[in-house]
Structure 1
């Protein structure tokens, strides 16, 4: 019995030893299997992040391709910098991109969307991005990360040669260098993510470390990648925290690396549980052999669960096929229901291509079949073309959806074999197509605006030449009929009308320029609505008498003082009334009625201006376009009247700036009705305003002395004559230098005013004014200096103010306004 038990125990010990050896050998194999599965999972995760980075970079490549097309010689505009800036602003507003900068090397010079200090001395052709782009012959290149000398930020440059030139367009992107704002939810627990360029310089990471600390941690990891150390499934690295980690990576087409590290503790957790459990089983083997069987059952169950988890991670693709390129065979790793019903799990690859042809949209099928033949994929593998793929439309349940197919391979794992991955990207693709459509529509809109402006300039040339031709012709006729006072008077009246028409054209151009540049500002001044309307109506009554038209005015408003921008209100009414007079024939009727609506609990009053005429009217089609710049009604009759197509656009903008509304009703042959509603604030400064106006009216310019700087002989003659009519004594200077000398040669207080043109030879008006203010004389800071110039833009007014001038009068000179302005400084 004892021998039998000894034999039994010996058998048991032998069985235990065999089981122990088998257990430890199996655990080693399991560890290897866990690590291999972890390697596949890590590489798939790294590949997933690489795909996201590729999609992210593809946005910048799209921007680069669009700019390259716009900068081709046949597509260029004159102002390339404005084109680049406008496109960059558009991209920031419409696309989900981070900070970037766009610029180009054109004819050996930098053209940038933003200001570059010292760009004139910079030779872009010596830069690495330029030389690499030229060498790529139309392909997109990525530079290594470097520090921008201007901004002292880390930057990566994408560049591409402009077709048909030696010019290059480039986009700078600025990696965050810190925790990425993009979704990192797919990284396993405790894992770290790094994105670097081909030299190992970090572009992104998810560590809570400074950039220098993160780079120091990453350097040995990257060195191991370069040495091939981390190609093995059981490779490891030890971080600065002493934790062992597995390293998995993927290299993007741009040469960048997507790297994932996962703590071994997390990878081997399941294996350690098995080891602990196995040790307990061996320890209690003699008392519970059944527990070993249960343990085996649990082990198989847990392994099955682990494999299910790995399979869940691969669910980002709805179909996976391994293709043996050498034997032209496929293996269905994961397939759709349709494919599984049609073909077996393994078979000839040509059979797979034949079946998928039935569900791919006809216009996409040919390209798919040509791109993914076994022969073409062998060529791609030979050239090491990683992540080759594209988008096509596939039929799902009777509906076509966008699918992305990608070819993956790794010759270090299995040669002559690739994996085709199919992913449903319908939502992302439709968003991308929507963005591209928006960009196309925006470009078409810009093109339409450019064509509209070209048409405007063509029309403007005609509209400006017409009054100029009349002025020149009438001047010749006046010289011929100099002995006939009546004809001379009539000709001078027509010349005055044509001159004012030309001035209106120029003012409209200036106004639309202010609107487009956002420089149209609302001023605040105190005025009487009723008094100003009466004065304005008097001018139009005179015009109505001369043109034999009936002009009626009804002002149902109180005499109150308001705060607001009367100049813009007057401009709105003048524009609409002028149009009413233009488009209303002889003996026609024009009406202006004004009413107010006030609230005793509010300091604001709403004024309603209604302008009616019984002129030619407008059709409904034109009414829909009436506020669009450069649009003009081309109906018979209306086309005979001069106009720029800017007036109503300016009116609409002014009404909006004054927080009002405008409504238009019109019918062909019946006339038009305009209703404008504008709010105005009631002011309490009536007495002060009346006293100021009274004091200005009582002042006289008789006997005052003015220094006039003007380089144009005709303008000088006119100004001297007109100023003399007001009793002023004029001292003439023909440039800024003469004006400064005349001022310094006289005693302080000799001159009461200085009128200064801006553009003059030797010394311009701003330089002369600045020199006068800095001369140190006792009247240098107080003598009124008024700019009288044809430079009428806001930047010109700013220049005169900076130079120390007190006021600015635009040419042609309104001498009544000049007189009132001079009186203010007495």
Structure 2
């Protein structure tokens, strides 16, 4: 009786008319087999030869039996080698007790035990001697008679034949439908051609290889109608007609390359890589008053560009619209076979496409990354497939969000008022993907029943977005860095500037005391030199761009550094009766290799703070001394700044070095400050890899100690004094005669006085042009050098230097030209070098540097 029921169901399977009837019949067959065998589960695994896996496509479970189809969608052939080999021979598997096959088929044993299977019947599904899958029966409770097992074998063979026959029938129907559609498309193309021709004043069929032309349409108003006797149905020479038309009617300024663009060679080359060729030009008005035209050229076949269709249409209204609106016109798209173009475009945008039936929870793969825009034949449970796609492609951090997006149980509700929804995610291969659901079909109530799931690559778009964001962020950081750097430098300039203003006032009040004036002038020069260093640092374009300080170590005298600070913070400048003392002691190595400017900035800011927060008649002390570092070529330079001021609260000491930080205290509310001084100190100390410590109590004063390790330089007695070299340079330059190109009379007066004090005479040229004239008319050897300003009227210093080097004067190539200018950027130095200048000095002029440079060129 059981055999008869199974045979009866095989007949029902045979009568299935479509894929869904077949699936229902197969599901019934599994239930019958399960009932006949009193088994827990009956299932079908299809063999995927491409991926070498068995895929679970059907499953029936008995009462209270947990389904496995969602947990075990596929099994790799490597996990069941024994069964695969037996199935390929056509053998069935009959296992009464899985423990009996533990050693015979260890991989299969693990799979069976994992599913709590104690006995098993499995038989292959065949079609024309090709394995298509197998049917498995878990834990059957029958005596497996030979006739029943044979019947199951027949079931496998019959099932394979029915499924393959139905697949081939559907494929045949698809091909018939495609053929019918091709015929329909051909008729549509003919209709399109007829409609398309209405847009053209003339249409020609051209054989480029044979240089022949046949008119298909020619409006009597067209200019071409008046060339010879051009009529439809006749053949003409293409190149000859194009040449005559160009010479007689085309306005040459509008299309100078008319014959080149419309030549047979150019058209074929262009159409080899492009779908069409368009070209606009203007002609003398034809009989209808039309003067703007566009030629459009299309190949008859994508495989060959030798036979083309050329249409000429007038575009006067189009051109007029472009001129009036000043916007570029979008060229009209050519009508063609839209279906194939759309499919081709979609395949380039979306690398995978799935059709999903939400009512059946079924998917069918339309396109994948390895089989483009055609049915792959893969199908299965849609909800399980979406989970598989998520775990297979999506990086772990995006998986929870994408699983929610892939939840098909809520997709109908999410698409209730929308036609499409999308979400981006990062894939395991490092690329960005955009996943999208698109409504394909709704029922009568508007509920979504069928959808498309598509995926496309958007890495380039994401990179552009991130690139723009990064550029904007970098630009903001650069602006912030510049503002911060300039704020710091402006803060540090105020201290030496105070000294300059103070000593200038003292000198003005001491006009009757030459020694006092001389003392003030010396201190003014010291403070001015400090300001010059700070300004040079501000003009350092590298610091300005990145907003960070950079160390520039050079030979630095510790005693001179202390002397400069003493001048800047001279007791005479303090009007509140402070007692300021400087003590530089135990300096055994006066010459060190360090950034002297940065050290001055550190000490100046700390001294300035102590002075600001110490009441009148208080004490401020600066102590600088050396500590030995055994076994090292460095010394530890220790600076101690102490005061008897208001002190610092313990809770503020932790943040006192933060930018724009000021203590909230009524004692300092009247003291002006930016909150930058201590932040600058901390940044510079860290930059020089030093340490800074603070000892302070409210009302008990403050002691700040800065320790920085610096290399020392040992110099012999002759060099340490530097007098020998300086005297030699001065003596070499005595008697030199210079030509000075300087448009500012006051600047020339300063230069001439300084040169005269050192035994050097000079003549002035008011601008670059005068300088060139004076030099060109001078006798050989008249001038020992030229001091050249860069920015001058009539002719600048760069142009003047170029002109001098090109003169035939005996000294033109050898005379030293030294630029003296306020322009100190790297690009200015390069311009001077290219113009033929020998050296470059920045303003304000350092006469010692100038004399040292001149001494090198003394004949």
TM-score normalized by structure 2? 0.43
Larger Rg: 2
Q: Give the number of the structure with larger relative contact order, counting CA–CA contacts within 8 Å between residues 6 or more apart.
A: 1
